[in-house]
Structure 1
Amino acid sequence: MGNYPLPTDKALSGVRVLDMTHVQAGPTSSQLLAWLGADVIKFEAPTGDITRQQLAHVVDGKRQESFYFKMLNANKRSITVNMKSKAGQEVFEQLIRKCDVIMDNFGPGVLTRLGYPDEKLQELNPGLVIASIKGFGSSGPYSDYKAYEPIAQAMGGSMSVTGDPNGPPTISGAFIGDSGTGVHLALGIVAAIYHRTHNGGKGQIVEAAMQDSVMNLCRVKFRDHLRLLGGTAELAEYGPPTLGLTYVPRALNDSGGGHIGNAIPCKPFGPNDYIYMVAQAPVVPVLLKEIGLEPDDERFAPAAARNKNQHEFWKYVSEYTKNYTKQEVTARFNELDIPCGPVLSTEEVVADPHVLHREMWTKIEGHPEGDYYTVGMPVKLSLGEVDKKYPSPGLGEHNEQITKDVCGFSEADFNRLKEAGAYTLPPKK
């Protein structure tokens, strides 16, 4: 990628982020900021972000850098710093002075043990926004617990409501703990920058916890928890009975919304040959007529009866859909204004014309190992997004550029720091 030009007219142009995060949650957040125009400096140990080699791709017997890393680190610059050397600390401290935001997702106390508690960072740069991702936050009974995606889902309520009521709890295929927390942190960072702009340039501490974020993304299920009212109410749109429960149950593909919904099979009956449809009350008479029943069928037309008889209702719908492909059913039902969509495999999603129109599967050109694809920017701005997505940086690719252009060191300083081991680990004895 080389010394790519930083945008000057984007939403976050002029904001410089020192990104010390690794793996998924933090890099998700910082990549969103980069795509909004921020100068994101990926600050790595000389060994690099672990995901550079995790789940590595092998082509013609050659091990390539992992897509895990490539897909989360576009439009960033990389500097490697040995924080255990005095020269490395000199570079780090100058970067702190020159950056607006520092991001980390270390375990509790890592920066403090290196000699940089929050107070020290704020002393170096009073306007600094210190943004962290933690599993369970920096305080509370679980603050020292380690967290991974499934653990965050388990402890945030998601697993308990996902899967078959007669089977074990199941994690979501969407990484709501990692990437979900990254999105929450990005919001917090942008809010802190806005606050600083309008409150005398004062920085602050921003924290996003994985358990908290999972809870927020499970908000509808906590709505249903309140609806149970201590076991005295029924969740009528759930297939399994809920009367008497004091917790929200797993309910397979029940919609959990104001109208019943389900995944319905279509021909040719492959693993993803389903539509998901919602029996929205105003269009139920139209749906009943389409599948060959009377629009005022007393078993299904009234909402209370439909909820009670939904198992039989879905059988009738399935008898109709079995004659068509999921695309045919989707097209027909949308003509009738019936909420419906096909279950798309990853293969189908990345080739879907609407997804491509929205630039949500986007080609990244110019990586030394070849072009690759990544998930695009989910937030669309009429003004302020970057015009081009650059590939993830090589490890330490921008050491010299960042040292000179950001830190303000001379070439002689760079050579001195390099010689003193600022960017590399000392040779093994």
Structure 2
Amino acid sequence: MTPDRQPTPSALEGIRVLDFTQMMLGPFATQLLGDLGADVIKVERPGTGEWERGLTYAGELLGGDSAAFLAMNRNKRSVALDLKLPAARDALLRLAATCDVVVENFRPGVMDRLGLGYDDFRAVRDDIIYCSGSGWGQDTKYARENRPGQDLLIQAATGLAFNTGTAGDPPTAAGTSICDATGALTLANGILAALLARERFGIGQRVEVDLYHATLAILTQEISAMVNHDAEFYRSEAGIAQPWLEAPFGIYRTIDGWLAVAMGPMDVIAGVLADPALAELDPWLDRDTAKRRIDELAAERKTTELLDALLDAGFWAAPVRTMREAYEELAADGSSLLVDVMHASGTPLQLIGCPITLSETPWRQRLRPPAVGEHNDEILAEVLSADELHALRAASAS
């Protein structure tokens, strides 16, 4: 009889993260670390917890928490402390001595004023990795002006909103918090790089990521084309889906839906649509004319019929679906990306899991999103005596 195989370790097993983050930039990054096995200790305000817990979607909460909060805070334990209390600060610094990473995304200077800045944590662990996420950076023009840094504002400031939509439309925001997500994934990458550097070179360091520069970084193709061609690129009047790309790149209405068509030779799509004149058009100089003609021809075909013809011809195309349709396909396929958990209130939840597949150290759903301060005693008892814990409780209640 073959003995049962022991569970494999998680990739970040043994790594401990002290998490002061809120909204999406920080929590989405630290959830990824938690998914990969890190012990993430989320520090929240007593009573109300992180600000995003109360952010309603369509005016509703789930078991008293925001759907957005629940989406980004699994695999974490919560400790609720008043950061202005000296005893709370002392407890957190003691806790930090057992941690590998500290992550915060307050406005620049807030953590220093609380006595919880990089130098404070480095004093208790000299190889600590201290990560700061922000809207504009720690010491930039807009940071010094104390401007709020939020996803929509970053889309506006970087040019992303002006790249989206067609000519004549107002600047158009993306359909999700793309700057927050980009910043979060960049922050997680920075943390992983710093952990590897510490493993190899024995050093701690400060990691800084901000939404503004992370978003400019994902505009790398557009900015490279603009600067190196010394040209301006404008949104197409007919709806080419990128200001700097040529026909037929875009979305087309069919008899019964919509179809996305990516880059490809005009003579191929001309053949599929049985319109030789299309092949004579210049994909860049005549891009609006080409787009409008393809609009007319696509409107005469059913989505599946046109999709199959394009795919058979080697053209890149896909149907345009709603988010619900994409989700329902995942559910029907039994996708491991969907995870079922129970809210602290007893409400069943379904969340999107971690999209990273590791053959030997897979991610695991270990902890549901925590209630505010759910793990206070469990965490603080590691570094405080019973008397100190009692005194801290008393100070927090006063």
TM range (shorter): 0.7 to 0.9
Give the deviation of 1:379 after TM superposition.
2.7
Give the deviation of 1:179 after TM superposition.
1.6
- For residues 397 and 131 of structure 2, the distance between their equivalents in structure 1, rounded to whole angstroms, comes to 27
TM-score computed with the length of structure 1 as normaliser: 0.82
Q: State the match for 1:53 in structure 2.
A: 54
Per-residue deviation, residues 292-342 of structure 1 (Å, max 9, x unmatched): 23xxx3x4336x624333344334434443344434433442233210012
Q: Are residues 1:249 and 2:234 paired?
A: yes
2:246 and 2:287 in contact (8 A); partners too = no
Aligned partner letter, 1:280: G
Aligned partner letter, 1:278: A
Q: State the match for 2:272 in structure 1.
A: 290
- Structure 1 segment 139-218 matched on structure 2, within 5 A: 139-144=139-144, 145-200=147-202, 202-218=203-219
1:274 to 258, 278, 288: 258
Per-residue deviation, residues 326-362 of structure 1 (Å, max 9, x unmatched): 3443344223321001222121121124995654444
- For residues 124 and 316 of structure 1, the distance between their equivalents in structure 2, rounded to whole angstroms, comes to 67
Give the deviation of 1:364 after TM superposition.
2.9
- For residues 292 and 118 of structure 1, the distance between their equivalents in structure 2, rounded to whole angstroms, comes to 65
Q: State the match for 1:305 in structure 2.
A: 282
SS state at 1:301 partner = helix
Count of residues paired in the alignment: 386
Give the deviation of 1:63 after TM superposition.
6.5
The range that moved more, 253-262 or 333-342, is: 253-262
- For residues 17 and 196 of structure 1, the distance between their equivalents in structure 2, rounded to whole angstroms, comes to 15
2:167 and 2:235 in contact (8 A); partners too = yes
Closer/same/farther in 2, CA of residues 353 and 54 from structure 1, 3 Å limit: closer
Closer/same/farther in 2, CA of residues 365 and 383 from structure 1, 3 Å limit: farther
Aligned partner letter, 1:384: T
1:355 and 1:361 in contact (8 A); partners too = no
Q: State the match for 1:239 in structure 2.
A: none
Q: State the match for 1:414 in structure 2.
A: 389
- For residues 316 and 258 of structure 1, the distance between their equivalents in structure 2, rounded to whole angstroms, comes to 14
Q: State the match for 1:240 in structure 2.
A: none
1:263 to 248, 251, 263: 251
SS state at 1:352 partner = helix
Unmatched tracts of structure 2, length 5 or more = 1-6
Give the deviation of 1:377 after TM superposition.
1.8
- Structure 1 segment 4-403 matched on structure 2, within 5 A: 9-46=9-46, 47-55=48-56, 64-144=64-144, 145-200=147-202, 202-229=203-230, 231=231, 247-251=232-236, 252-255=239-242, 256-257=244-245, 260-268=248-256, 273-281=257-265, 284-293=266-275, 297=276, 299-301=277-279, 305-353=282-330, 359-365=336-342, 367-388=344-365, 390-403=367-380
SS state at 1:142 partner = helix
Aligned partner letter, 2:328: A
- For residues 8 and 58 of structure 1, the distance between their equivalents in structure 2, rounded to whole angstroms, comes to 42
Aligned partner letter, 1:276: A
Per-residue deviation, residues 184-226 of structure 1 (Å, max 9, x unmatched): 00000000010011112x2100000110011011112112212
TM-score computed with the length of structure 2 as normaliser: 0.88
SS state at 2:278 partner = coil
Give the deviation of 1:413 after TM superposition.
4.1
Aligned partner letter, 2:278: F
Per-residue deviation, residues 38-90 of structure 1 (Å, max 9, x unmatched): 1111111213101111116777x996311011111011110011222232122
1:349 and 1:355 in contact (8 A); partners too = no
